[in-house]
């Protein structure tokens, strides 16, 4: 027997040659079976986990329902046990509206209600008057029941005929101009208005306390007449050197306007004080 050089040699037609195609098919079939087994096991595992979770949820829900019907649920009060009323009193509101505050003008329009003392210092307090940045020095003051004696011309008889009770005068000056204001007191607002409407002549100037005589006879001075409540007030303003006032003399006009505006405020303030006192007494 002779042997060749390299070992066994299988040819295509040899009976001992393996069937390679069959072996490949068998291997592929085995691999497919393993794959389906793995997939099937995963599905079964997922289904098992889902069943466990569902069981846990159902169990928890049942436990919660059991707990709700247990000890804690029994501690909540039944609707019939809740109180229907409280011991605290309910707030009450008055159906009566509070009265309106008193009108200050009511207390300066009639002598029956205007009962506060009337004095020169009450109407013209202090030693100076400041209005709009202008400072006036207060001169002499006077208070008298002889109303006619405080006037010039026809004003005296007008005051007396309307029932003037008294007159308070005060003089102020600044930079060579001066003004005297006179407040005439009447019993009613109607009489004060009538006296102001009928005004003729003027209030007499009041010198002294550092203010020389002004508005001498023959000179022209500015005169005004007003009323508020039961008070009529008259002003005269001019130069302390006797010069006549013209419409161009703004300082002579300013002192008269400032003094009459201040007088109006003082009369109104008198009403405010009495109205406030009346309101306090009513609520006290």
Within the chain, residue ranges assigned H as helices are 20-68, 71-75, 120-123, 155-161, 189-197, 250-283
User: What is the pLDDT at residue 52?
Assistant: 45
Helix (H) or strand (E) segment spanning residue 129: strand 128-131
What DSSP element (H or E) covers 235? Answer: strand 231-239
Q: Torsion over CA of 27, 30, 35 and 40, rounded to 10 degrees?
A: 170
Q: What is the pLDDT of residue 61?
A: 47
Q: What is the pLDDT of residue 86?
A: 58
The pLDDT of residue 84 is 59
In this prediction, residue 95 carries a pLDDT of: 63
Tokens of 55: 């069981």
Average pLDDT of each block of 10 consecutive residues along the chain (284 residues)? 41 47 60 52 48 44 48 53 59 64 92 96 96 96 98 98 98 98 98 97 96 95 98 98 95 97 98 93 76
Distance CA 23, CA 19 (A): 6
Predicted pLDDT at 281: 85
Nearest to 262 by CA among 141, 138, 124: 124
Q: What pTM did the predictor assign?
A: 0.66
3-state SS, residue 51: helix
Q: CA 24 from chain center: how many Å?
A: 100
Listed in sequence order, the residues at least 6 apart from 164 whose beta carbon sits closer than 8 Å to its beta carbon are 147, 184, 185, 186, 195
Which letter does DSSP use for residue 90 in this model?
P
């Amino acid at each position: 027997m002779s042997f060749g050089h390299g070992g066994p040699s299988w040819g295509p037609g040899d009976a001992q040659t393996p069937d390679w195609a069959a072996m490949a098919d068998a291997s592929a079939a085995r691999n497919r079976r393993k794959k389906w087994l793995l997939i099937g096991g995963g599905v079964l595992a997922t289904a098992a986990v889902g069943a466990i979770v569902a069981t846990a949820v159902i169990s928890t829900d049942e436990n919660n329902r059991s707990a709700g019907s247990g000890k804690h649920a029994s501690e909540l009060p039944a609707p019939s046990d809740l109180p229907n009323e409280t011991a605290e009193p309910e707030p009450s509101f008055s159906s009566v509206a509070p009265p309106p505050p008193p009108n200050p003008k009511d207390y300066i329009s009639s002598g029956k209600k205007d009962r506060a003392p009337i004095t020169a210092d009450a109407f013209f307090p202090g030693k100076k008057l400041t209005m709009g940045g202008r400072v006036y020095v207060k001169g002499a003051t006077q208070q008298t029941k002889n109303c006619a004696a405080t006037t010039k011309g026809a004003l005296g008889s007008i005051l007396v005929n309307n029932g003037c009770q008294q007159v308070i005068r005060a003089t102020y000056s600044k930079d060579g101009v001066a003004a005297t204001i006179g407040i005439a007191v009447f019993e009613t607002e109607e009489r004060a208005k009538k006296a102001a409407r009928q005004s003729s002549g003027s209030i007499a100037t009041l010198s002294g306390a550092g203010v020389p005589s002004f508005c001498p006879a023959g000179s022209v001075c500015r005169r005004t007449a007003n009323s508020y409540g039961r008070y009529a007030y008259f002003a005269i303003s001019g130069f302390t050197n006797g010069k006549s006032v013209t419409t161009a003399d703004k300082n002579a006009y300013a002192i008269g306007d400032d003094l009459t505006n201040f007088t109006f405020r003082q009369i109104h303030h008198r009403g405010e004080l009495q109205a406030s006192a009346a309101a306090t007494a009513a609520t006290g």
